[in-house]
Chains A and B, each alone.
Chain A
Amino acid sequence: MGLTQDTTAVTAVATAASSLQLWGAAMFGALIGWYVYFINRYRKGDVQISDLATVLGVIGGGAVLALFPAKSDLFGAYGVGLFGGFFLYFILLVLMVAKSPNFSVDWFLDGRRRKPADDEVVPPGTAETVHAMGVEPRGRGPQ
């Protein structure tokens, strides 16, 4: 009975979703995706089980499914938007690193960069990031 009602509700949402609603869901997903990359970039320490639960809750948890029912086009638009926001952040990061004279792509491996010039300063604690990759595979070098 409940399953039938759910299926009916999903069908109703899928057929009733307008373009504006789909774009809204996609943009909402893009915002979340951007923030997921942001959080991962500025995270402190290693991943914990609680981090996994948090991210899972963000990308497909109950709150999201309450907004965008599973199987519906709204949920699909949200997922596509999530993808767009997440990788837009990454692509912009790559472009900015490529454009900047102070960084090379090796920054992605271990965070290396040129020293600030004599008249430049990076205040301690400013936008400290962790590097997601590491120069060598685990156990064979600094991470």
Chain B
Amino acid sequence: MTALAWAGSVAMGVVWGWWTAPQSERRPRSLAGALVVVAGTVQTAQIVSFSGYAAAAGLVGGWIVGFSLHQAFRTALRLRLRERTTS
């Protein structure tokens, strides 16, 4: 697997993670909501499973990065709004 192919897997994982983050928040805190995220992640892993563990690891790593970036962005906005409304 070339470096570019691996970078592509990571990049797709980041997009997938960023896309997943708001969806996970919209749904009620329930088993169904968790299953949606897990099922999507597993399905994604299945899609690239024949690309090998490196691609799957890149995708999952990218997912974590994308999800975390979105959560950090949202948290920063919320803190900013909270500080402004309480001051």
Contact = CB atoms under 8 A, between A and B. Distances in A.
Interface string B11-52: 110111011001101111100000010011001100110111
Contacts of B77: 105-106, 108-109, 133
A83 B11 contact: yes
B19 A33 contact: no
Contacts of B23: 46-47, 51
B48 to A, nearest CB: 6
Interface residues of B, number: 41
B3 to A, nearest CB: 8
Contact of A59 (B2, B15, B74): B15
B55 A70 contact: yes
A52 B39 contact: yes
B9 A52 contact: no
A60 B29 contact: no
- Per CB-CB distance, the 7 closest pairs between chain A and chain B, nearest first, are A79-B8, A76-B8, A83-B11, A76-B4, A76-B5, A132-B22, A47-B23
Secondary structure of the B side of the interface? helix
A16 B11 CA distance: 23
Contacts of A31: none
Interface of B: 1-12, 14-16, 18-19, 22-23, 25-29, 36, 39-40, 43-44, 47-48, 50-52, 55, 73-74, 77-78, 80-81
Interface string A87-107: 100000000000000000110
Given A79-B11, A105-B80, 6 more contacts: A46-B27, A49-B36, A49-B39, A53-B43, A133-B22, A138-B29
A27 interface: no
A82 B11 contact: yes
